[in-house]
Structure 1
Amino acid sequence: MLSYHEAIARVIRPITPTLFIKQLLSSPETVVYILPIKAMIKITSISLTALLTGFGLVLPVRAENLAHLSQLLSTKQCQLCDLTGSGLVMADLSGASLIGANLAGANLSQANLAGADLRGANLTGASLYGANLTGANLSSAILAGTDLRDSYLTNANLTGTNLANAYVQGAKGISQTAGTPELFYGWGLIETKEGNYQEAIAHHNKALILDSEFAPAYLARGYALLRLGNENGAVLNAKMASQLYEKQENTQGKELAESFVENIEAMQEARRKGGGTPGLDNIVRGVASLALRFLLQGGF
Structure 2
Amino acid sequence: MLRPLATLLLLATPIAAAELQDLQQLLEDKSCQGCELNNADLVHAELSGAQLQQAQLQGANLSRATLRGADLRNADLRQAVLLGADLSRADLRGAQLSGSDLRQSDLTGAKLDPGALSTSHWQGAQGVPTGANSYADLHNSGVEEALKGRHPEAEQRFSAAIGRRPQAAISWLARGISRGEQGRELEAAADLQQAGRLYRQGGNDDLADQLDKAAQQLRDNPKKPNGNGWGSAILGGAAGLFKQLAPYALKLMGPGLL
Give me the TM-score of the superposition, normalised by structure 1: 0.70
Give matches, 1:200-279, under 5 Å.
200-250=154-204, 253-254=207-208, 257-258=211-212, 260-265=214-219, 267-268=221-222
* Paired position in structure 1 for 2:7: none
Does structure 1 retain, via aligned residues, the 8 Å contact 2:114–2:131?
Answer: no
Matched position secondary structure for 2:248:
coil
Offset of residue 190 of structure 1:
1.6
Q: CA RMSD in A?
A: 2.7
Displacement of 1:67 after TM fit?
Answer: 0.5
- Aligned equivalent of 1:27: none
Whether 2:233 is the aligned partner of 1:283: answer yes
Which residue identity does 1:115 align to in structure 2? G
Q: 1:132 to 1:251 in 2, by over 3 A?
A: farther
Tell me if 1:66 matches 2:29: no
Could you tell me which of 186, 189, 192 is aligned with 2:140?
186
- Per the alignment, residue 76 of structure 1 pairs with 30
Q: Which runs of 5+ in 2 are unaligned?
A: 1-13, 250-257
SS of equivalent to 1:176: coil
Report which structure shows greater RCO (CA 8 Å, sep ≥6).
2
Instruction: Report the Cα offset of residue 241 of structure 1.
Output: 0.9
Q: How far apart are 1:161 and its partner, in Å?
A: 5.6
Partners in 2 of 1:139 and 1:244 — Cα distance?
36
Higher share of residues assigned helix = 1
Cα distance change, pair 120–260 in 1 and its aligned pair in 2 (3 A): farther
SS at match of 1:184: helix
Aligned-residue sequence identity (percent) comes to 35
Letter in 2 for 1:291: L
Give the corresponding residue for 1:133.
Answer: 87
2:48 aligned to which of 79, 94, 114: 94
- Higher Cα Rg: structure 1 or 2? 1
Supply the distance in 1 between the matched residues of 2:205 and 2:59 (Cα, whole angstroms).
45
Kept in 2: contact 1:108–1:128 (CA 8 A):
yes
- CA offsets, 1:2-38, max 9 Å, x none? xxxxxxxxxxxxxxxxxxxxxxxxxxxxxxxxxxxxx
> 2: distance between equivalents of 1:108 and 1:281?
41
Structure 1 residues without counterparts, runs of 5 or longer = 1-59, 273-277
* Aligned residues between the structures: 233
Q: Deviations over 1:77-128 (max 9, x none)?
A: 0110111000111111111111110100001111111111111110000011
Distance 2:18 2:246 in 1: 40
Work out the CA distance in 1 between the residues paired with 2:86 and 2:204: 42
